């Protein structure tokens, strides 16, 4: 059954477990194991992107296993869409499945308030999607790009297979974060919820993904604390009672708790919208990534393993990801090659509380598919040629070179419209 109304009512459950047909997931062009951590997924995708430098993918594993003693590997092989309904997969080198291939992962922050997360965000029933990013790592390992997807984006959601064999209903138009909710209600597990989000991202973008990652509150705090905090320039006082954010203007080294509060904060900041909250999350992740790179964590295998062991204590991933291998392959990435932006989007006509993709979004998705920089490189204008002096005339004296004006520094925490990017090099450790 396809829902064409696209309303935001709670999902009652998956369509019957015996109905085996899935809706065809047309591209837009542009497990069965339950674990004790299944209900501890996250809201702020913060740590994920520092660990962003650590993840690649191979084939899905058959069962949940632990990587580095911490990371939960989620088996979702039976839940992903059939090959005929997915973007084409790159052909790997049989000797090294990751060599020379781009890596695309869906980073998910779910608003889960059980277990240790209840002590941080307050106890609530159920699990909801809150923050989602598409992570792209270039085939040559020179670029890392993260594209935020608004949770209130109105798009088509495919029918998703869930644990137990049932399927969720498809919608020609619905709110993006419903994909996670439908998978959760239908399968009652993280694998179903996250895989439905993964399949929705693929249908929306046309990008073949290698898996998903989900992080929780506690994991975010642990990663920041593993870095001994994140230095940031806070341009003005920031207060949000609901997220327990209280920062004074000036140079600050944020603790894990403070960084989490900043990632969650929305009320009382800017216009209170989720659009600008995503921008602040990106600024925080940029600062975290710059801190990792500046400390040379990725170039020292011993330090890398210690960092990952501390930082991934509450991380769930699919796809059999080798954390240390891909992280080490990114040891030469530069801060200005780690890019963050929100997919180009704007208010839905007639409903300012929802957003829709704009025409520019198709170009961003196409660049990810082609493994090209999401922000086109601007070619420098050709240098003016010196005029030649006529025969017998005095030689032309070249003009005195002038020092080019320096571009004004970017404030990563300033409000940015979707499609406007920052890099980790823009992160300011001091005011």
State the Cα–Cα distance between residues 2 and 20, nearest whole angstrom: 15
DSSP 229: -
pLDDT of residue 60: 25
Choose the weakest-confidence range: 142-151, 176-185, 228-237, 302-311: 302-311
CA gap 172, 15 in Å, rounded? 16
Residue that wins the pLDDT comparison between 317 and 237: 237
- Per-residue pLDDT band for 165 (boundaries 50, 70, 90) equals very high
Mean pLDDT rounded to a whole number for the chain: 78
Q: What is the pLDDT of residues 262-294, one digit of tens each?
A: 998 988 788 888 899 999 999 999 999 998 888
**What HEC string does 169-195 produce?**
CEEEEEECCHHHHHHHHHHCCHHHHHH
Count CA atoms within 13 Å of residue 365 on its CB side. Answer: 24
What are phi and psi for residue 25, nearest 5 degrees?
A: -95, 90
How sure is the predictor about 42, in pLDDT bands with cuts at 50, 70 and 90? very low
Lowest mean pLDDT among 111-120, 140-149, 279-288, 409-418: 111-120
Of 63-67, 191-195, 348-352, 421-425, least confident by mean pLDDT is 63-67
The pLDDT value recorded for residue 38 is 37
Name the phi and psi angles at 283, rounded to 5. -60, -40
Model confidence at 20: pLDDT above 70: no
Residue 148's pLDDT is 97
Residue 378 pLDDT class (50, 70, 90 cuts): confident
Length of the chain in residues, anyone? 431
Q: What mean pLDDT is predicted for residues 148-162? A: 97
- Report in angstroms the alpha-carbon separations of 194 from 135, 186, 190, 255: 15, 12, 6, 28
pLDDT at site 380: 64
What does the pLDDT average to over 106-115? 71
pLDDT at 41: 35
C-alpha distance from residue 40 to each of 6, 174, 216, 249, 316 (Å) = 28, 26, 6, 33, 9
What is the model's pLDDT at position 29?
A: 35
pTM of the model: 0.75
Residues of the chain with pLDDT > 90, as a percent, come to: 46
- Judged against a pLDDT cut of 80, whether residue 372 lies above it is answered with yes
The mean per-residue pLDDT over the stretch 213-237 comes to 87
Secondary structure letter of residue 375 according to DSSP: S
What is the rounded CA–CA span in Å between residue 427 and residue 388? 46
pLDDT given for residue 329 in this prediction = 77
């Amino acid at each position: 059954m396809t829902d064409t109304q696209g309303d935001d009512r709670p999902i009652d459950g998956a369509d019957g477990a015996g109905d085996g047909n899935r809706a065809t997931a047309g591209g837009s062009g542009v497990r069965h194991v339950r674990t004790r951590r299944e209900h501890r997924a996250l809201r702020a995708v913060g740590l994920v992107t520092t660990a962003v430098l650590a993840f690649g993918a191979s084939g899905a594993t058959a069962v949940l296993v632990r990587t580095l003693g911490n990371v939960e590997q989620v088996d979702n092989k039976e839940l992903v869409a059939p090959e005929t309904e997915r973007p084409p997969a790159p052909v790997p080198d049989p000797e090294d499945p990751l060599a020379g291939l781009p890596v695309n992962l869906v980073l998910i922050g779910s608003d889960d308030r059980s277990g240790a997360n209840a002590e941080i965000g307050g106890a609530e029933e159920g699990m909801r999607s809150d923050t989602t990013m598409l992570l792209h790592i270039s085939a040559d390992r020179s670029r890392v790009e993260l594209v935020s997807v608004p949770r209130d984006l109105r798009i088509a959601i495919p029918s998703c297979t869930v644990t137990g064999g049932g399927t969720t209903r498809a919608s020609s138009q619905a709110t993006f974060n419903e994909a996670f909710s439908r998978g959760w209600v239908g399968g009652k597990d993280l694998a179903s919820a996250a895989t439905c989000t993964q399949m929705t991202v693929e249908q929306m973008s046309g990008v073949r993904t290698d898996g998903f990652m989900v992080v929780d509150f506690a994991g975010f705090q642990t990663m920041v604390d593993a870095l001994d905090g994140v230095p940031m320039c806070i341009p003005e006082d920031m207060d949000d009672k609901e997220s327990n954010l209280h920062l004074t203007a000036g140079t600050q080294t944020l603790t894990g708790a403070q960084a989490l509060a900043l990632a969650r904060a929305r009320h009382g900041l800017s216009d209170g919208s989720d659009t600008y909250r995503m921008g602040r999350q990106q600024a925080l992740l940029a600062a975290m990534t710059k801190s990792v790179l500046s400390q040379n964590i990725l170039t020292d295998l011993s330090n890398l393993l210690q960092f990952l062991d501390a930082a991934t204590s509450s991380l769930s991933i699919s796809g059999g990801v080798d954390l240390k291998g891909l992280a080490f392959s990114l040891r030469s990435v530069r801060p200005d090659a780690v890019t963050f932006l929100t997919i180009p989007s704007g208010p839905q006509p007639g409903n300012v509380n929802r957003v829709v993709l704009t025409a520019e979004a198709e170009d961003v998705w196409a660049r990810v598919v082609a493994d090209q920089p999401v922000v086109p490189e601007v070619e420098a204008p050709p240098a003016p040629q010196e005029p030649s002096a006529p025969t017998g005339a005095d030689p032309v004296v070249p003009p005195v070179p002038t020092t080019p004006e320096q571009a004004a520094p970017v404030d990563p925490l300033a409000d940015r419209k979707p499609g406007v990017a920052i890099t980790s090099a823009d992160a300011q450790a001091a005011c």
